[in-house]
C-alpha cells in the first residue's frame, strides 16, 4: 500500500525549502530568474510541439514520419531530459535528477564497483530466471494459459528486489504501452507495505534532521508506526509547543544510495534496449527510465512534498469543500515531514462513512469536481489518490494526504486536453489522433490514419451507451489494447492522469455502485467552457457550438443546462452547507451561472472578429429563416441566471476598450488589404 499520511503545517515560512526543481516556461527562463518566487505551477507555459524531438517509430502498423536524415540525427543528439522538457512545455533549470548526476554519485562512492557488481548479478540472475521461464512457456505452447501465475510471480519478484523495483512495478501498472493488460491488472495490487524499521532509528533521524531532542519537539509520539512503506514510515505525535496532533513522515535509513545505485543500473540496461523501445514505442528506453528516475528522486526529498502541499493549499484556498492538511515547515526537512493530522474516515471504509451520516453522493460530487479542477484548472494534480490517501471529513469535505507523487500539466497540455474533449464531442477523430501527437503519445509527423478508425470505434462504443453505462475503466481497457498494438508511448504525467481518474472512479463505485462519474464531470466541463475567462477556452466553446459550419442550437442549450446543474450541485452540497467555517471563501461559491464575462467576450468578438461575426449572422439566418424561436429558448434558460441591467452596464463600461480594439482590427485589415 502506498504510504498514507495525514499532512502538515501552520507555518508559512519556507526559507530552508528547496526552490530548485520548479518547472519554468522556456520563454521566461531565457530572460529572467524571478521564477523562484512564482509558487503557482498552474501559470501559463510556453506552447511547444508536444513531441518535436521524438525519435522515429518503425513498425506495428503506423507509417513513418516524414523527416529527413539530418533532422533525425539532430533529434537523436537531444538528451532524453531535453525531450521531456520540450514535451511538457517547461524548463527545469535545477533538477533533482540527471543521468550524469546519478552516475557521478554512484561511481564516486567507496566500494561502488563491488556494490554495483553484486547488485547487477542479483538483478540479472532473478530477472534472467524469470525471463527464461517465459521463454520456456512459449516454447511448450502454454504461454497464454499460465499468464495469471506468471503475473503473480512478477509481482512477488519485484517486491523481493526492493523499493526501486516496487516503484517501477507501480509505474508499469499504468503503462499499457510497455506491458500487457493482464500483467498490469496484477501489478495494480502491488503492495508497498514493508516491515517498519526500528523506532530508535526513526527517532534518531528526526533528531538529526531537526537538530533538537525528540522530547523538546513532541509531548508524545506513537510507539507503533501508523503506516510503513518502501521509502518511509509514519508516526502520530503531539507538538509540545501547541498541543496539536501531527503526522511525522520519516524516510527509511540508507534508502538514497540504494535508489541511486538501482537507477544507474536501470539506465545502463535501458541503453541496450533502445532498439526494441524505438520499434515498439517510438522513443529511447533511456527516456522512460529518466521519467521514472525524476519522479522517484522527487519523492525522496520531503522538502518538495512540503512545497507540493503548500501549492495545493493555495489552489484550494477558496474552496470550502476540500481539505488540504497544513505543513509545519520549521519541523520538517529533506528526510522528515511534519504534517497536520487528518481526523477523517478513509475511503477504504465505506460502512464507516455511511455510519457517520455523511451524504455519500454529495461527497463524491465534491471529489470529482476537486479532481477535475486539479487536472484542467490548476494543472497540478495528486498522482496517487488511492482510497488510503483520500479521507471523508465528518462535515462532508474531501481531504487528501501524501503529496510525494504529484504531476504538473502545462497550460499547453491542459488546452490540448480540452481540445480532445471538443473533438470527441464533434466526433472529429482525425483531430483526436492529432491531439495524441501534440501531447507526446506519438512522434511528430507520424501517419495517424491507422489510429483513426480505432479511436472512432472506442469512443462510439463507449459514448453510445450513454452516461448510465459509461465508465473510464471500460474505455481504458480498449485504449490499452490500442496502445499495445501501435507505437504509442504514454508520457509519465498522463499515465498518472489515467491512474488518478481510474482510482477516483473506483472510489466512487466502492462508495456508491450506481454513481455516474460523467454526470458530474460533464456539467463541470460545460460550466468551464461557458464561464472560464481564458481566451483559449472561448475558442473551444466556438468550436463546440459550430459543426460542419452550422450552429448547434441544441448543443448550446445542453451546455447551459449542464452548467446550471453543476452550479446547483456545488452550491447546495452538504459539505458547503454544513461547514461551520462559513468564511469569506465559502461565500464565493457561485449560486448562479455567471455568464457576464462570456456575454462581454461574445459582444467583443462579434464586433472585432469578422469571421466570428459572419458565423453568428449565418447561425441566426440558417435555412433562409430567422432562428428567433431557438434564441428565445436559450434566453429562457438563462434569464433567471442573469441580472440584465448589471450585464448591460458592464458591457457599456467595456465599450471604449472594445471600440479601440475594433479600430485596431479595422486598421490592420486595411493595411493588410493594401499590402496584398
Q: Just list the catalytic residues.
A: 384
Neighbours of 558 (CB within 10 A): 14
Residue 340, classed as helix, strand or coil, is: strand
Which residue is it, cell 505551477?
41
Residue 146 CB partners (closer than 8 Å, separation 6+) = 137
CA 75 to chain centre: 27
DSSP class per residue in 123-143: HHHHHHHHHHHHHHHHHTT-T
- Judged on CB neighbours under 10 Å (0-12, 13-18, 19+), 160 is exposed
- Judged on CB neighbours under 10 Å (0-12, 13-18, 19+), 10 is middle
Q: Using alpha carbons only, give the angle 565, 551, 543 rounded to the nearest 5 degrees.
A: 75
Neighbours of 247 (CB within 10 A): 25
Q: Is the separation of the CB atoms in 191 and 159 below 8 Å?
A: yes
Residue 41 CB partners (closer than 8 Å, separation 6+) = 22, 23, 311, 378, 379, 380, 408
Q: Compute the distance between CA of residue 420 and CA of residue 256 in angstroms, rounded to an integer.
A: 40
Q: Is the separation of the CB atoms in 299 and 405 below 8 Å?
A: yes
Residue 580 CB partners (closer than 8 Å, separation 6+) = 395
Q: Is the separation of the CB atoms in 213 and 205 below 8 Å?
A: no
Give phi and psi for 446, each to the nearest 5. -65, 140
Q: Compute the distance between CA of residue 242 and CA of residue 222 in angstroms, rounded to an integer.
A: 17
In 476-570 the beta strands, taken as DSSP E runs, fall at: 546-547, 550-551
CA within 13 Å, CB half, 47: 7
For residue 186, give the H/E element and its range. helix 181-187
Give phi and psi for 227, each to the nearest 5. -155, 145
Q: Compute the distance between CA of residue 562 and CA of residue 675 in angstroms, rounded to an integer.
A: 47
Nearest to 61 by CA among 448, 555, 415, 361: 448
For residues 432, 434, 436 and 438, what is the CA-based torsion angle, rounded to 10 degrees?
-130
Give the end-to-end CA distance of the chain in Å, rounded to a whole number: 66
Q: Which three cell numbers stand for residue 88?
A: 511538457
Q: Compute the distance between CA of residue 23 and CA of residue 85 in angstroms, rounded to an integer.
A: 9
For 203-239, b where at least 16 C-beta lie within 10 A, e where not — what string? bebbbebbeeebeebbeebeeebbbbbbbbbbbbbeb
For residue 381, give the H/E element and its range. strand 380-382
Q: Using alpha carbons only, give the angle 494, 498, 499 rounded to the nearest 5 degrees.
A: 115
Neighbours of 349 (CB within 10 A): 15
CA 86 to chain centre: 17
Q: How far are the Cα atoms of 40, 308, 407, 547 from residue 43, in angstroms, in the given order? A: 6, 15, 14, 31
Amino acid at each position: 500500500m502506498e504510504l498514507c499520511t495525514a499532512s502538515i503545517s501552520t507555518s508559512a515560512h519556507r526559507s530552508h525549502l528547496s526552490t530548485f526543481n520548479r518547472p519554468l516556461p522556456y520563454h521566461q527562463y531565457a530572460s529572467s530568474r524571478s521564477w523562484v518566487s512564482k509558487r503557482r505551477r498552474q501559470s501559463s507555459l510556453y506552447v511547444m510541439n508536444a513531441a518535436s524531438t521524438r525519435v522515429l517509430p518503425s513498425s506495428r502498423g503506423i507509417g513513418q514520419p516524414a523527416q529527413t536524415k539530418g533532422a533525425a540525427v539532430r533529434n537523436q543528439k537531444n538528451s532524453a531530459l531535453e525531450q521531456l522538457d520540450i514535451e511538457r512545455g517547461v524548463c527545469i533549470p535545477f533538477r533533482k535528477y540527471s543521468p550524469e548526476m546519478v552516475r557521478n554519485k554512484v561511481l564516486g562512492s567507496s566500494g561502488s564497483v563491488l556494490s554495483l557488481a553484486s547488485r547487477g548479478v542479483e538483478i540479472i540472475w532473478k530477472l534472467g530466471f524469470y525471463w527464461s521461464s517465459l521463454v520456456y512457456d512459449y516454447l511448450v505452447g502454454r504461454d497464454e494459459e499460465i499468464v495469471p501465475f506468471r503475473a503473480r510471480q512478477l509481482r512477488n519478484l519485484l517486491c523481493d528486489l526492493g523499493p526501486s523495483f516496487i516503484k517501477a512495478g507501480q509505474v508499469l501498472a499504468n503503462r499499457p504501452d510497455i506491458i500487457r493488460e493482464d500483467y498490469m491488472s496484477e501489478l495494480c495490487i502491488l503492495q508497498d507495505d514493508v516491515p517498519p524499521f526500528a523506532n530508535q532509528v526513526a527517532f534518531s533521524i528526526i533528531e538529526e534532521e531537526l537538530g533538537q531532542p525528540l522530547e523538546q519537539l513532541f509531548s508524545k509520539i506513537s510507539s507503533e508506526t501508523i503506516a510503513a512503506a518502501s521509502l518511509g514510515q509514519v508516526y502520530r505525535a503531539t507538538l509540545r509547543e501547541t498541543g496539536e496532533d501531527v503526522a511525522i513522515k520519516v524516510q527509511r535509513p540508507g534508502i538514497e544510495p540504494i535508489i541511486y545505485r538501482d537507477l544507474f543500473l536501470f539506465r545502463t540496461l535501458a541503453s541496450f534496449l533502445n532498439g526494441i523501445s524505438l520499434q515498439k514505442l517510438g522513443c529511447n528506453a533511456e527516456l522512460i527510465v529518466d521519467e521514472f528516475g525524476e519522479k522517484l528522486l522527487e519523492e525522496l526529498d520531503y522538502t518538495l512534498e512540503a512545497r507540493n502541499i503548500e501549492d495545493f493549499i493555495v489552489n484550494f484556498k477558496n474552496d470550502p469543500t476540500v481539505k488540504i492538511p497544513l505543513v509545519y515547515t520549521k519541523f520538517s526537512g529533506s528526510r522528515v515531514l511534519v504534517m497536520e493530522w487528518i481526523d477523517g474516515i478513509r475511503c477504504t471504509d465505506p460502512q464507516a462513512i455511511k455510519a457517520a451520516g455523511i451524504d455519500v453522493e454529495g461527497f463524491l460530487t465534491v471529489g470529482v469536481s476537486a479532481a477535475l479542477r486539479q487536472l484542467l484548472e490548476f494543472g497540478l494534480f495528486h498522482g496517487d489518490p488511492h482510497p488510503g490517501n483520500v479521507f471523508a471529513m465528518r462535515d462532508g469535505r474531501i481531504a487528501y494526504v501524501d503529496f510525494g507523487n504529484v504531476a504538473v500539466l502545462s497550460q499547453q497540455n491542459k488546452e490540448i486536453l480540452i481540445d480532445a474533449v471538443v473533438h470527441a464531442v464533434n466526433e472529429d477523430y482525425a483531430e483526436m489522433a492529432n491531439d495524441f501527437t501534440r501531447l507526446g503519445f506519438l512522434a511528430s509527423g507520424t501517419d495517424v490514419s491507422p489510429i483513426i478508425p480505432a479511436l472512432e470505434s472506442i469512443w462510439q462504443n463507449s459514448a453510445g451507451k450513454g452516461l448510465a453505462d459509461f465508465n473510464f475503466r471500460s474505455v481504458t481497457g480498449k485504449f490499452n489494447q490500442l496502445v499495445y498494438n501501435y507505437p504509442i508511448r504514454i508520457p509519465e504525467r498522463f499515465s498518472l492522469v489515467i491512474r488518478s481518474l481510474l482510482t477516483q472512479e473506483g472510489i466512487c463505485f466502492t462508495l456508491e455502485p450506481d454513481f455516474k462519474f460523467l454526470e458530474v464531470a460533464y456539467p463541470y466541463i460545460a460550466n468551464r467552457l461557458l464561464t472560464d475567462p481564458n481566451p483559449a477556452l472561448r475558442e473551444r466553446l466556438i468550436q463546440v457550438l459550430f459543426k460542419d459550419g452550422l450552429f448547434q442550437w441544441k448543443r448550446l442549450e445542453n451546455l447551459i443546462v449542464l452548467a446550471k446543474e453543476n452550479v446547483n450541485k456545488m452550491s447546495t452540497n452538504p459539505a458547503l452547507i454544513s461547514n461551520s467555517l462559513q468564511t469569506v471563501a465559502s461565500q464565493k461559491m457561485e449560486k448562479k451561472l455567471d455568464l457576464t464575462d462570456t456575454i462581454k467576450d461574445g459582444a467583443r468578438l462579434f464586433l472585432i472578429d469578422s469571421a466570428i461575426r459572419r458565423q453568428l449572422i449565418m447561425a441566426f439566418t440558417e435555412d433562409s429563416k430567422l432562428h428567433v424561436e431557438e434564441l428565445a429558448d436559450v434566453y429562457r434558460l438563462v434569464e433567471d441566471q442573469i441580472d440584465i441591467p448589471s450585464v448591460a452596464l458592464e458591457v457599456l463600461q467595456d465599450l471604449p476598450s472594445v471600440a479601440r480594439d475594433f479600430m485596431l482590427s479595422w486598421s490592420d485589415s486595411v493595411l493588410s488589404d493594401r499590402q496584398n
